[in-house]
Amino acid sequence: MRCRVLRDIAARQSVANNELTRQAYRFVTRNETLPARVRHQAQLMLNAMPKQSSPTYIHNRCVATGHGSGILREFKLCRFQFRLKALNGELPGVKKSSW
């Protein structure tokens, strides 16, 4: 398995582990009914969280090759691997169309 795929898996796991905490801090920082001091503390705590816990660090990658562009979300494969697996009959419900 490629290191980029492993890095992507680690980033996705980090986001999943810290999702509730991050949402709570974001809610507090945006709640204007709370005192400014509390909102500022929540913003500092949000900034202190690990970088990989942010959802923007997730990048879709092909699970077979680690390729980062041309990804079909439903299958988590790049377009070339999708084509190869579809032609070999490895993807259920997918077949080459002809008309």
- What pLDDT score does 77 carry? 93
Is 79 within the bounds of a domain?
A: yes
- What pLDDT score does 68 carry? 87
Residues 10 and 48 both lie in one domain: yes
- What pLDDT score does 64 carry? 85
Spatial separation of the C-alpha atoms in residues 51 and 47, rounded to whole Å: 9
Taking 70 as the pLDDT cut, the residues of the chain under it are: 1
- What pLDDT score does 43 carry? 95
Residues 10 and 35 both lie in one domain: yes
Q: How far is CA 29 from the centre of its chain?
A: 23
Is 10 within the bounds of a domain?
A: yes
Is 16 within the bounds of a domain?
A: yes
- What pLDDT score does 1 carry? 60
Residues 1 and 42 both lie in one domain: yes
Question: Model-level pTM greater than 0.95?
Answer: no
